[in-house]
Amino acid sequence: MMFFYDYYWLVLIPVIVAMIASANVNSTYKKYERVRNSRGLTGEMAARKILDANGLYNVRIEHISGSLSDHFDPRSNVVRLSDSTYASASVAAVGVAAHEVGHAIQYAKGYTPMKIRSAVIPLTNIGSSLSYPLVILGLVFNSALGDLLVNLGIILFLTVVVFQFATLFVEFNASSRAMKTLENDHILEGNELSMSRKVLTAAALTYVAALFTAIVNLLRLLLIAGRRNRND
């Protein structure tokens, strides 16, 4: 089982990529949170305006603590905006608020990738917690049982990759909807749109990093399984 510790470099690369993506989104947001939009709309005001324009009067907006912890909760039908977004009139805050409203619109319109992501969440939770333990346990047994456990662990981890892939579509589409709405409804003007787009692009790259991490981890499991089979 010692070769489970091989390919450790495949663990380090995604960690570095994720750190870079996280640092980029934080620095980009901080840069543009200092720029006030010309209409003086706060994140909450912009979110309400976009929701109402799309007929989503039943979707509530709540203020939550934290920074960039904004999200849409489909179970409660609530867009939650953090301290850094709710009452801020920066171009960054308005962009983030519009993005979260984009998720509410996706849910209301039955956007397919969002349905896929919701469907695989239970399996993803199982896969993320059990895939590696199953593979490790499978490495202990040099038998058909070991093969079964290793293969089951890999299959479960595939659900994590599918989830991250669907999430990428969901996030990019939400940002695209946000930017179109901000421009068409004249919520942001001129350079403000470019600044907001940079914030949303930086945020989207964190999901690219998450997908990359999942794919690399899957590759590591496949390499471990292949080496095990060669050593049998």
- Residues 148-187 pLDDT 10s: 888 899 999 999 999 999 999 999 999 999 999 999 999 9
Give the pLDDT band (50/70/90) at residue 226: confident
DSSP 150-186: HHHHHHHHHHHHHHHHHHHHHHHHHHHHHHHHHHHTT
The average pLDDT across 15-42 equals 94
Q: What is the pLDDT of residues 74-106, one digit of tens each?
A: 999 999 999 999 999 999 999 999 999 999 999
**Mean model confidence pLDDT for the chain:** 90
The average pLDDT across 39-62 equals 96
Give the pLDDT band (50/70/90) at residue 5: low
At residue 229, the pLDDT reads 63
Is there a contact between 104 and 53 (Cβ–Cβ < 8 Å)? no
Question: Which residues fall within 8 angstroms of residue 116, CB to CB, at 6 or more apart?
Answer: 162, 166
Does residue 3 have a pLDDT over 70?
no
At residue 1, the pLDDT reads 47
At residue 232, the pLDDT reads 55
Give the pLDDT band (50/70/90) at residue 68: confident
The number of CA neighbours under 13 Å toward the Cβ of 35 is 21
Active site residues: 100
The number of CA neighbours under 13 Å toward the Cβ of 199 is 27
The type of residue at 171 is E
Closest to 77 measured CA to CA, from 64, 59, 62: 59
Q: What pTM was computed for the model?
A: 0.86
Find the range with the poorest average confidence among 1-5, 24-28, 160-164. 1-5
Q: Starting from the edge strand earliest in sequence, which strands make up the sheet with 78-81, in order?
A: 60-63, 78-81, 71-73
Does residue 132 have a pLDDT over 80?
yes
